[in-house]
Structure 1
Amino acid sequence: MSLSRQRCFSSGRDSVRSARDFVRDVLAEWDVPDRREDVRLCVSELATNAVLHGAQPGREFSVRLSVEGLLLRLEVRDSGGGRPEVRSPDADQCSGRGLRLAWELADDFGVTEHAVGKTVWPAFKIASAPAWLRSRA
């Protein structure tokens, strides 16, 4: 059995905080106790990238969380072109670490390209499925 929740956000700066809050609230509602901070850090970095590089002006980006078994997946989809690459910036560079952080924290990571835009997704192994989800299986 699986579960998912998705929300769209405008491409403004306040949307990064709103995306973090959305993830915090969903993980609390689903009673997923582990990996919360890793997931929140990843959504913060990926939402920032969507706002700065991915979402076209006037367009939205979306954040989706899903749990299937013991795998929690975060997806951030935007309408921008190009394929994001995990980089290793020099110590004196002020940016370029967001995808690297997500890649390092996640147990799996990828980019799915669409006809318009792309989805960047880290996935996290969790210790146990939410209790109420286990009871339905």
Structure 2
Amino acid sequence: MPLLRQRRFPRARKSVGAARVFVTETLRDWGYDDRSDDIRLCVSELATNAVLHGVPPGREFALALTGDDTFIRVAVRDSGDGVPEVREGGAEECGGRGLRLVQELSDDFGVTTHNPGKTVWTVFKAVPTTRGARPEPGAHG
């Protein structure tokens, strides 16, 4: 059974750093060291987008991590409308490069729409390198 940890964060700038800490601790607990830098960077980008584009103000966004012995899946859900797009623009563009980074660093990436909101998810092929204090399958942290 896959491992699962999820947490809700307020739609506030400080939540981006808190999301990175949450992911860092989870990956360490699960024994995933191999792709942790890529995963943390992508979480930072997805959490930033949820803070900037999730509506209305005052709502939370949810971050869920699932993993097994072959992958880590990150999913960030917010209540904002619209579907995020990867932009091809150059350095002069003001936005959209974060999702390009997520697309390049991960092994799979997509958006699932809901009513209301959306989930932006990304998958990383990863194998635990150590056997940390792995929680029971389906445990919430």
Same fold (TM over 0.5): yes
Structure 1 position 128, deviation (Å): 4.2
Structure 2 counterpart of 1:88: 88
Q: What are structure 2's unaligned runs of at least 5 residues?
A: none
After superposition, give the CA deviation of every residue in 1:71-108 in whole Å (9 maximum; x if it has no partner): 11000110000011111122222332111010110001
Q: What are structure 1's unaligned runs of at least 5 residues?
A: none
Structure 2 counterpart of 1:100: 100
Distance 2:99 2:119 in 1: 13
- State the TM-score, normalizing by the size of structure 1: 0.91
Paired-residue identity, %: 55
| 1:129–1:118 CA distance, 2 compared to 1 (3 A) | farther
Structure 2 counterpart of 1:68: 68
SS of structure 1 residue aligned to 2:9: strand
Structure 2 counterpart of 1:125: 125
- Larger helix percent: 1
Greater relative CO (CA pairs within 8 A, separation 6+): 2
Structure 1 position 69, deviation (Å): 3.4
RMSD of aligned Cα (Å): 1.7
The number of residues matched between the two structures is 134
Runs of 4+ residues deviating >3 angstroms: 127-133
Residue identity in the other structure for 1:74: V
Structure 1 position 36, deviation (Å): 0.2
- State the TM-score, normalizing by the size of structure 2: 0.88
Residue identity in the other structure for 2:10: S
